[in-house]
Amino acid sequence: MEKHLGINRQIHVLANCSTRKFNESFLDDDITGKQGGVLHFLLMRAGKQKIYQRDIEEHFGIRRSSVTSLLQKLKDNGYITRESVADDARLKLIVLTPKAMAFQKSVVQGTIDFEARMLQGVSEDEIATWQKVTQQMTRNLKDKKIGSDK
């Protein structure tokens, strides 16, 4: 079992490297990695579907308070606005500003190019296995609390 120690660290290193490199390539300096991930999520769906905070929470698997903070920073930096929904005062529609939309073309093509670069030398079978394994790991972590006293 010891030969598998460090997987969590490897996942963190990959996630941090991926986010940093993507943002360096396609976004301005006034945005953090996590904000860039959310902005990317919004840009990829722009004009295709309405996005609310709960959609971001579900997609990224992060808490409401974290998403609220991320969205507030994106709003403060001029990338989004939040509009009330007429039939449900609890919902706020997330709307991209022209500043954010200026990134759309480069982010869409950049995503394709970025993933192609990241997957160089990785076979289709290896990708399928990786996806299967990471999905199982995610299910494992969602199932129950971790720790000897939990």
pLDDT band at 26 (very low <50, low <70, confident <90, very high): low
3-class secondary-structure state, position 50: coil
- Whether the per-residue pLDDT at 3 is higher than 60: the answer is yes
Q: What is the pLDDT of residues 41-59, one digit of tens each?
A: 999 898 899 999 999 999 9
- Please name the residue that has the structure tokens 């290896």: 126
Question: What is the model's pTM?
Answer: 0.72
- Determine the Cα–Cα distance for residues 132 and 37; give it in Å rounded to an integer: 22
3-class secondary-structure state, position 93: strand
Q: What is the pLDDT of residue 25?
A: 74
Mean pLDDT of the chain: 86
- Determine the Cα–Cα distance for residues 1 and 4; give it in Å rounded to an integer: 6
**80 contacts: CB under 8 Å, gap ≥ 6:** 39, 42, 71, 74, 94, 95, 96, 97, 100
Q: What is the pLDDT of residue 80?
A: 96
